A and B are shown apart, each in its own frame.
Chain A
Amino acid sequence: MQTFFSIGVDALAYGMILFVISIGLSVTMGLMRVINLAHGAFAMIGGYIASYAARDLGLAYGLAIVIAVLGTIIIAVPLERFLYRRIYGAPELTQVLMTIGITFCVIGLANYVFGPTLKTIPLPTGLQGPVDIGFRTIAAHKLFAIGCGVVVALGLWYLIERTSFGVKLRASVDNTAMAAALGVRTKIVYAASFALAVGLAAFGGVIGAELLPVEPYYALRYMVTFLVVVSVGGAGSIPGALIACLLLGAIDTTGRYLVPEYGEFFFYLAVIAIVWVFPRGLMGRAK
């Protein structure tokens, strides 16, 4: 029972962090049809900035998160303008190469600037200890991560379903040319949702730093996981991504607890099985 409970909490926290990071990828992939392998690199940049702000400059945790999100967006917007915009609508191979090139560059530069060691982001005292929830105790930062995931999911749902930006976004996803003809400035919608996606990635990178430690190969190590989430959930679908994250988080965490000697064998086996049965993702739309 004790194991079962800890697996449950860990899986939920891990799944929520996966969700916060990869939902942006899912939205951009559904919108711009770009296979962005560099998404994890943006989460990593966020983690590095937060670590620098909180540990080296001694700023507060909340402030560090804000700086990390804004800083990552500032870095990412020129990339969108000069590199990504050239590969919208290009063949997959081109997109894969360009974005993996960006990932490699970011890894190399991070290694050069920050060194190959792990970077920690010091947690505020409120998030450090365990929290008693009556019958069990949970690490506070895991509870915080779960809360952030719920807030992000609700916020995104509200943004996409209830605001005028959401209407434009959905229109551009469904039919870019028609949306543009009706006066939606699709380029701005693209840039804004790209910035949103990157900001969420950075946010997830910071709050998830306890579970996915920040180091130069972060971008490559978890790139696969984020892509898997989008592929399993179906590009562009928020509920799909949420289900995929919780499912994959549960499989991965259970595997780690019960059969650690097999590494990620069962995780990838499950991925193949799910994608095999649902080639368009759990909630993907038919082409």
Chain B
Amino acid sequence: MSAGASVTAMPAENRGWQRDLIGIAAILVAAIAGYFLFPNNLALLTRMIAIMLLVLSLDLVTGYCGVATLGHAALFGSGAYAAGIAAAHFGITEPLTMIAIGAVGGALAGLISGVVILRGHGLAQLVLSIAIIHLFHEAANKASEYTGGSDGLSGISPDPILGVFEFDLWGRTAYVFGIVLLLLVFILLRILVRSPFGMLCRGIRQDPVRVSAMGASVKLTLIKMYVISGLVAGVGGAFNAVSTQVVGLDSLSFTNSAEALVMLVLGGVGSLYGALIGTIAFVWIEDLVSAANPFHWLTIVGALLIAVVLFAPKGLYGTAATLVERYRRGGK
């Protein structure tokens, strides 16, 4: 993922858009296949979508800006609690409004954590990100009047979407709603990472000194990206609140943050497809292993992480993309 990668990442404009169309089509096909292959497991797939939004949002700051953070669930959880509190305490149960409130909540949390985390570098940055997630966690635990504390926030009953599509017992509406949200976010993010702003962020990851020498403000750009990332994570959190109708303290946990990072690395840092693939792979393996042997779940995650770092540092998507590239060059 050095200069060479970014050169091959943007060939002729239209070829890029073709690829995007193929990518969107692939997501749609996978979504439809999931709907018909696992009709009894839609809840798991819906949870996967919410986590995908979190991992996409983490990819924006870690993959595109190079900020290592172990506190990204703060953004996700804030979105979830914002939407949940709006529904449970203020009677705002219109799902689209809830999502919007969640996005605003996430963006606010993104602003706060961005300002705090970007103060340090290296170890200090990591420690600040960990402190942020614990601070949010303790605050949510303490404010139990609003958040329900460790019992979780319940009593969220969203209205039908647009007044037409009711949330059913099988989670079909929630699933379709999630897919639509995911596709929308994905397309917007594709546009974002290709925009001059997105390129500036990549530039900062590769060489912040040079970018600031060019006259761009590194910190301001990163904070902007953090707010955008917060929007995305907030949408994910709010969607989770809408689809599961509860918000638990675990959405603001360190484990949640660490797992999101594992998923991102498993799929491939610095690529939106990597974020999606990593989430699918991780949640799927988690479901398989914890059903078979819950004791060894952590051992396997750990071994998986070590293996990825040692043998596939670019993640599943990155490694596959490299192999395809090599195959193409060999073919020519």
A positions within 8 Å CB-CB of B: 29, 35, 83, 86-87, 92-94, 96-98, 100-109, 111-112, 220, 224, 227-228, 230-232, 235, 261-265, 268-269, 271-272, 275-276, 279-281
Contact = CB atoms under 8 A, between A and B. Distances in A.
Given A101-B309, A275-B119, A228 B131 contact: yes
B141 interface: yes
A98 to B, nearest CB: 5
Interface string B209-235: 000000000000000000000000000
Given A108-B295, A262-B142, 4 more contacts: A96-B126, A98-B305, A104-B298, A230-B123
Contact of A268 (B119, B138, B299): B138
A281 B306 contact: no
B161 interface: no
Chief secondary structure at chain A's binding surface: helix
Contact of A227 (B62, B123, B255, B310): B123
27 contacts: A29-B123, A35-B122, A86-B310, A92-B123, A96-B68, A98-B306, A104-B301, A105-B299, A105-B302, A108-B297, A227-B130, A228-B130, A231-B120, A231-B123, A264-B138, A265-B138, A265-B139, A268-B132, A268-B138, A271-B131, A272-B132, A275-B119, A275-B124, A276-B119, A276-B128, A279-B119, A281-B124
B282 to A, nearest CB: 13
Interface string B110-121: 000000100111
B269 A93 contact: yes
Pick the 7 closest A-B CB pairs, nearest first.
Answer: A108-B299, A101-B305, A104-B302, A105-B302, A108-B298, A265-B138, A231-B127
B83 interface: no
A249 B277 CA distance: 43
Contacts of A108: 295-302
Contacts of B297: 108
Given A108-B297, A262-B142, A281-B124, A272 B265 contact: no
B301 A228 contact: no
B314 to A, nearest CB: 11
B295 A97 contact: no
Contacts of A263: 138, 141-142
B299 A109 contact: yes
B302 A224 contact: no
A235 B138 contact: no
Contacts of B300: 108
A280 B62 CA distance: 22
A111 to B, nearest CB: 6
Contacts of A224: 127, 130-131, 134, 254
B138 A93 contact: no
Interface string B288-332: 000000011111111111101110010000000000000000000
A97 B298 CA distance: 14
Contact of B68 (A93, A104, A231): A93
B87 interface: no
Given A96-B70, A108-B302, A261 B132 contact: no
A102 B297 CA distance: 13
B135 A272 contact: yes
Contact of B116 (A112, A261, A272): A272
A87 B269 CA distance: 18
B39 to A, nearest CB: 33
A279 B124 contact: yes
Contact of B299 (A86, A100, A112, A269): A112
Nearest to A94: B309
A94 B313 CA distance: 8
B99 to A, nearest CB: 29
A261 B262 CA distance: 32
Nearest to A35: B123
B322 to A, nearest CB: 17
Nearest to A108: B299
Contacts of A281: 124
A264 B70 CA distance: 18
Nearest to A116: B295
Nearest to A269: B135
B126 A227 contact: yes
B176 interface: no
A97 B261 contact: yes
B308 A111 contact: no
Nearest to B120: A279
Contact of B131 (A98, A101, A107, A268): A268
Nearest to B308: A97
Contacts of A107: 298-299, 302
Interface in B46-73: 62, 68, 70
A97 B305 contact: yes
Contacts of B134: 224, 264, 268
Contacts of A111: 295, 298
B258 interface: yes
Kindly name the residue among B119, B126, B132, B309 whose own CB sees the greatest number of chain A CB atoms within 10 A: B309
A281 to B, nearest CB: 7
Contacts of B306: 83, 98, 101-102, 105
Nearest to B115: A276
Contacts of B296: 108, 112
Contacts of B138: 262-265, 268
B304 A101 contact: yes
